[in-house]
Structure 1
Amino acid sequence: MTFSLARSGHDATNLLHSLIYFVPETEQELTGVGLRAGRMCYFAGRAAPMGAVSGGVVAATFYNFNPSLVARCVPAAWELASPDVVVGARFAAADAALTRLLGPDVIGSADMIELAAILREAVGACSPEGRPLYAGHADLAWPDAPHLVMWHAASLLREHRGDGHLWALASAGLSGIEALVTHCATGKGFTPELARATRGWSQDQWDSAVSGLAPRGLLDSQGELTPAGRELRAQIEDQTDLLAAPPWQYLGEQRTEEVVRIGKAMTRAVLKAGAFPRTATASRDDAAASTARA
């Protein structure tokens, strides 16, 4: 199996997980159990499977957020709602959102049952070693409904890949903000303005990171990636694909292609139903990038 097919499996299912960060059901459910609206819902909702961890743990596992931004939300979130309660609310949000976006016919379809079964089997080939965010989610009990099995499995595969991506970034010698700066410079995700706004970095902090990357030969005087910078980013993506490959290698080409077929169709459906905002500051591409951890 080629790593491009493994990436296709990820691309076909990632937005089915990532919609949880954009649908209104998430904030409704999480504020309903006591969390404050906004970033607290994101940080606590995603980190809750690891337990009542500190802000430092969240910043480390989410990688490219300003730790001071995280510290405004965690650990205060756990005083408002326990991690177990937050996990339950997040599953309730996924249930409501997928039901609204896909409708009862797709929710109960043979394709949904098949996709859930294949993805759950793929998760069995994932290893938790060195992957703390994945491991926290992997310790959760599996839901019963096929569409929630599908969503949980897609979430696990996404976090497994994300944790591996952090290995690649750390091996490349990039800090959280440096990873974000170089990711923006590829032109394939965030704009710098959106990255700073959503990740909590100031203009001075951003400029300092840019200044530090230039002497390393990764950025030119205009803040664009140099050939060496482009090569480094390509190496990071290749290593990420390599580290994320085991579940897709386990499935093999035929079943991975079936995941791609069904996953793409369901992704088109949730996009058509408006799962992601289409504004100047939050687009479909931003949705994909928002969980990439740069």
Structure 2
Amino acid sequence: MDEKLIGQAMRQLQIFAAMVYFAPEYDEELGAAGLAPGVMCYFGGRAAPMGAVPASMVHATFYNFNPERVREHIPRVWELASPVKLIEARLVAADRALKRMLGPEVLGSPRVAEAADLARRAASEADTEGRPLAASHQELEWPEEPHMVLWQGVAILREHRGDGHIAALVDAGLGGLQSMVSHSATRAGFLPSFAQSHRGWSEEQWNTAVGELCERGLVDAAGDITERGSAVRARVEADTDRLAAVPWRALGAEGTQRLTEIGCELSGELVAAGCLPSEGVFFPR
């Protein structure tokens, strides 16, 4: 299978799962479970499938957060709400958000049921050795409604790809902060201001990382990506696609293409419904 097709599939699908972290329902449901809104909810909901793990484990698996930001909330999160309770709250939040933005007609459609079957098949075949977030998500019980099966399947595939992406970053010699700075320098994804503040890095720490990358020739003095930096980031993405291949091979090229098509349609509808912040977070497309 063409590994570029694998990368395209996940880029089209991931909004279906990732939208929950931007939805107001997420802070509402995890807040009702006992957490403070914002990054505490993010840490708690996403890490909960791993159990009441220490801050070092969350930092290792989330990778590009300042470890001090993580320690501000972990293990306090587990004192406020159990992982089981947070897993349930995240599912409720995802269900509410999808129903609000897409409605029963879309969520009850044959294409969502078809996509759910494909995503579950791929996620169930995901190789999880050396992939703690994917492994823990794969162990969760499957929901009953097709749109939530699709949500959970995409969430597993997203964490599977993310675990492999970290391995590729480590191999490229890009630590958590350097990976965030270099990705922002490509002008794809988070704006530097949001990446820095949300991940908990100070201006001094961010600028130090820019200097380190500049010495390696990966960014220029202004912090923009260089030709060499673009090549390194392209290699990371290619390695990530290669490492993410196993669950997609289970679907084959035809199944992968079909899930990508449906995922693209649903992601477009979610974006049109306002699932992502309109400004201040992402570079304009």
SS in 2 for 1:134: helix
The AA in structure 1 aligned to 2:173 is G
2: CA distance between counterparts of 1:218 and 1:97?
A: 39
1:235-280 CA distance string (max 9 Å, x none): 101000101122222211211111122111111221222212212x
Matched, 1:219 2:222: no
**Residue 48 of structure 1: aligned partner:** 48
State the shift of 1:283 in Å.
4.5
**Residue 190 of structure 2: aligned partner:** 190
**Residue 261 of structure 2: aligned partner:** 261
Matched, 1:98 2:92: no
1:207-235 CA distance string (max 9 Å, x none): 11122222223223332333222211111
The AA in structure 2 aligned to 1:282 is V
Report the TM-score when normalising by structure 1.
0.93
Bigger CA drift: 246-255 or 167-176? Answer: 246-255
Bigger CA drift: 223-232 or 241-250? Answer: 223-232
The AA in structure 2 aligned to 1:219 is V
SS in 2 for 1:72: helix
2: CA distance between counterparts of 1:105 and 1:189?
A: 31
Count of residue correspondences = 285
1: CA distance between counterparts of 2:86 and 2:283?
A: 26
Matched, 1:157 2:118: no
State the shift of 1:284 in Å.
8.3
Is the contact made by 1:66 and 1:200 (CA closer than 8 Å) also made in structure 2? yes
1: CA distance between counterparts of 2:251 and 2:193?
A: 40
Is the contact made by 2:189 and 2:283 (CA closer than 8 Å) also made in structure 1? no
SS in 1 for 2:229: helix
**Residue 125 of structure 1: aligned partner:** 125
1:7-26 CA distance string (max 9 Å, x none): 22112210000101111111
**Residue 282 of structure 1: aligned partner:** 281
Is the contact made by 1:277 and 1:284 (CA closer than 8 Å) also made in structure 2? no
1: CA distance between counterparts of 2:141 and 2:283?
A: 30
The AA in structure 2 aligned to 1:191 is L
The AA in structure 1 aligned to 2:281 is A
Q: Which runs of 5+ in 2 are unaligned?
A: none
Matched, 1:69 2:57: no
Is the contact made by 2:112 and 2:146 (CA closer than 8 Å) also made in structure 1? yes
2: CA distance between counterparts of 1:284 and 1:265?
A: 22
Is the contact made by 1:278 and 1:284 (CA closer than 8 Å) also made in structure 2? no
Is the contact made by 1:12 and 1:259 (CA closer than 8 Å) also made in structure 2? no
1:25-44 CA distance string (max 9 Å, x none): 11110000111111100011
1: CA distance between counterparts of 2:178 and 2:8?
A: 27
> Identity over the aligned pairs, expressed in percent?
46
2: CA distance between counterparts of 1:79 and 1:121?
A: 35
State the shift of 1:152 in Å.
0.2
Report the TM-score when normalising by structure 2.
0.96
1:166-208 CA distance string (max 9 Å, x none): 0000001111111111111111122222211111101111111
Is the contact made by 1:3 and 1:241 (CA closer than 8 Å) also made in structure 2? yes
